[in-house]
Structure 1
């Protein structure tokens, strides 16, 4: 049993609507319904009458509601008593893996130049966009460090969450200097352009469809000229795709910050002569308005000061 199942149930009891409750819980309605069924399965009883609109609690659901509310309250009260004092607690950050390697180390140095030493801790990248957002929504993380693009919206209530734009990056199509296609070597430079012209079928390294980059690239490719391609490898982690790309397995879109050194020394090359295939990205930091713990507030104010100095 998971505490979020209880929180889902309470939200549904308060709204009498699966769609409204799912919106409040920042999940899709299908994921929300699945979690309610998981709770019912764990309890071994039906809590919601689904044949009526609005949704109504069964007699078992009405009996269980105060238990769920009390359990949630008790759980968070105990968590607070077990935590270190606010001044000593590490700021927990949910972050896309690439940003922990490229952006964060230097940015943290700038933050500490303003605010003094800061204690930080990364929670594991959960892969999908929704899962990473949920870490902050459920307060498993204090902050969420992510890439952002207008066509990959984050379902966050603007009344509850705020963000800072703290940097920029872009995805660029790259390949090794030599790419093997069905055993035949081809020049990596301009290989995307040749694929678009119909000269070859290019092997591609993919992020899949659940990750931020996978969704963003899906929108980009839908707007660009089609080209013959086949997916030869998939990984939600950019650093993993970079390693595979460097061996000559295929074309990959990678953050420019992640491949700057490889492009400079020729271990990777840009796969196109036009910027049309590049994808501009923001780097954002999110938090809940209600999160005003001293460590989080200190870090947030330092980030605001840095951005004010960059964009006076």
Structure 2
């Protein structure tokens, strides 16, 4: 559970109102509501009585408030002490990134940035996190920049007054199969199932792929034989011929052909925007400001 969610919960418990607490926490009401539900899911109990006006804590919530206050106070104390000991160097930059982008895109981006910042030292954080956790890291100054994908059909709700955004690249998302595994899409084969390697869960990529599937005429024929949350795992499964898979082109170190894969049914291809975010509410270090100006200059299509 994200530490900032405890502070969100305490704000709602104190204010007795989601809108007031959201304003105090400098976020949207919907984002705050999602975080409180995540806290309750983690705690395994309903902590707030939403039927009451103003909102009041439940019996379990009262117990949780006392523990949350102690955790928050102690954590802030420890973080302050550690911060004094581990101040980042002037040329150190922390970029949080989706795991897929961290494989090849982030090294390429770092190479470009270092051309004008030769002493730049980039720390890439590519842990499995929720969007709210990544954004909380920006708000708390733990990360300087967050790099992720965006797609018009499943664009996340991110408060523009809290986070600044810039689009820095365009990537493709296409349907692949192993070169030696033929797949027939014609109407004469509409009764045949198609082995399918799928993204699991409700991640960003799984929702984009669902949109892609909905645009095809053969979606009902796809028969999942393998599911995973990481694109790298789907890539390996597709290489082994387990089934077809939608994969972002950032997953390939060189070319699909060299990886033993081929694009099939190109009509199913989608475009993904690579975008970067930074917080508007933390002190801007000169290095971060210079890097951000470089990212703005990288915007595709002259945006």
Q: RMSD in angstroms over aligned alpha carbons? A: 3.7
Moved more, 64-73 or 156-165: 64-73
Partner of 1:85 in structure 2?
87
Shift of 1:78: 4.4
Cα 1:217–1:25 shift into 2, 3 Å: same
Corresponding residue to 1:35 among 33, 39, 53: 39
Of 117-126 and 152-161, deviating more is 117-126
**Kept in 1: contact 2:215–2:268 (CA 8 A):** no
Task: Single out whichever of 95-104 and 62-71 deviates more from structure 2.
Answer: 62-71
Q: Distance in 2 between matches of 1:231 and 1:102?
A: 28
After superposition, where does 1:64-143 map in structure 2 within 5 Å?
Answer: 72=72, 75-76=75-76, 78-83=78-83, 84-88=86-90, 90-126=92-128, 128-143=130-145
> How many residue pairs get matched?
295
Measure how far apart 1:102 and its partner are: 2.2
Q: Distance in 1 between matches of 2:63 and 2:178?
A: 63
- Say which of 248, 251, 258 aligns to 2:241: 248
Unaligned ranges ≥5, structure 1: 180-186
Is this contact kept in 1: 2:177–2:263, CA < 8 A?
Answer: yes
1:285 aligned partner: 276
Cα displacement string for residues 128-151 of structure 1 (whole angstroms, at most 9, x for unaligned residues): 545544443554432211011112
| Alpha-carbon separation, structure 2, partners of 1:198 and 1:40 | 46
Give the secondary structure class of the aligned counterpart of 1:164.
strand
The CA deviation at 1:237 is: 1.4
In structure 2, how many angstroms separate the alpha carbons of the residues matched to 1:208 and 1:245? 15
Q: Is the 8 A contact 2:10 2:65 kept in 1?
A: yes
Alpha-carbon deviation of 1:127?
A: 5.2
- For residues 63 and 101 of structure 1, do their structure 2 counterparts lie closer, same or farther at Cα, with a shift above 3 Å needed? closer
Following TM superposition, by how much is the alpha carbon of 1:246 offset from its aligned partner in structure 2, in angstroms?
Answer: 1.0
- Of 188, 193, 199, the residue aligned with 1:201 is 193
Any conservation in 2 of the 1:8–1:36 contact (CA below 8 Å)? no
| 1:161 paired to 2:163 | yes
Q: Distance in 2 between matches of 1:195 and 1:105?
A: 44
Q: Residue deviations 1:21-79, cap 9 Å, x none? A: 576477473651351575697xxxx9755441231358998999799679746644642
Give the distance between the partners of 1:70 and 1:118, measured in 2 at CA.
38
Distance change >3 Å, CA 130–CA 69, structure 1 → 2:
closer
Of 219, 226, 234, 2:227 maps to 234
Distance 1:90 1:61 in 2: 41
2:291 corresponds in structure 1 to: 299
Cα displacement (A) at 1:269: 1.1
Match of 1:182 in 2: none
Unaligned runs of 5+ in 2: none
The alpha-carbon distance between structure 1 residues 10 and 137, as it changes in their structure 2 partners (threshold 3 A), is same
Q: CA deviation at 1:90?
A: 3.5
Give the equivalent residue in structure 2 for 1:184.
none
Q: How do residues 146-225 of structure 1 correspond to structure 2 at under 5 angstroms?
A: 146-179=148-181, 187=182, 191=183, 193-194=185-186, 198=190, 200-225=192-217
